[in-house]
A and B are shown apart, each in its own frame.
Chain A
Amino acid sequence: MTEPMVRAEGVQKSFGANTVLRDVSFTVERGEVVCLIGPSGSGKSTLLRCVNHLEKIDAGSLTVDGEHVGYARSGDHLRELRESEIGRHRAEIGMVFQRFDLFKNMTAAENVAAGPVHVKGVSRKLARQAAVELLARVGLAGLENRYPTQLSGGQQQRVAIARALAMEPKLILFDEPTSALDPELVGEVLEVMRSLAAQGMTMVVVTHEIAFAREVADRVIFMDGGVIVESGPPSEVLERPRHERTRSFLARVN
Chain B
Amino acid sequence: MARAPREHANLRVISPRPWGEWLAGAAVALVLIWLVWTVLDTPTLDLASIPRFLVMQAMLVGVGQTLILTAVAMAVGIVLGLLSAVAYLSSNRVLRAVAWAYVWFFRGTPVLVQLIFWFNIGIVFKNISIGIPFGPELFSVPTNDLITPISAAILGLGLNEGAYMSEIIRSGVMSVDSGQVEAARALGMSKAKSLRVVILPQALRIIVPPTGNELIGMLKTSALASVISVTELLGASSRIYSANLKVVEVLAAASIWYLLLTSLLSLGQYFLERRLAIGSGLVPSAMPGASLFRGRRRAAVSTERDGDDRIAVARSAV
Contacts and interface: CB of A to CB of B under 8 A. Distances in A.
Interface of A: 52, 54, 83-84, 87-95, 97, 99, 101-107, 114-115, 118-119, 145, 147-150, 160, 163, 167
Interface SS of chain B: helix
Contacts, number: 89
A106 to B, nearest CB: 7
Interface stretch (B104-112, B175-183, B214-222, B233-241): B175-183
Interface in B275-308: 278-281
A163 B187 contact: yes
Contacts of B190: 83-84, 87
13 contacts: A88-B188, A89-B188, A90-B185, A90-B188, A91-B187, A101-B180, A102-B180, A103-B180, A103-B197, A103-B198, A104-B202, A118-B187, A118-B193
B201 A54 contact: no
Contact of B279 (A90, A99, A119, A148): A148
Contact of B180 (A104, A145, A150): A104
Nearest to B193: A118
B303 to A, nearest CB: 19
Contacts of B188: 87-92, 115, 119, 167
B265 interface: no
B173 to A, nearest CB: 13
B187 A99 contact: no
A150 B316 CA distance: 13
A118 B314 CA distance: 25
B311 interface: yes
A204 to B, nearest CB: 13
Contacts of B186: 52, 54, 90, 93-95, 97
B279 A149 contact: yes
B29 interface: no
Contacts of B278: 105, 147
Interface string B159-189: 0000000000000000001011011111111
B281 A150 contact: yes
B93 interface: no
Given A88-B188, A104-B280, A97 B182 contact: yes
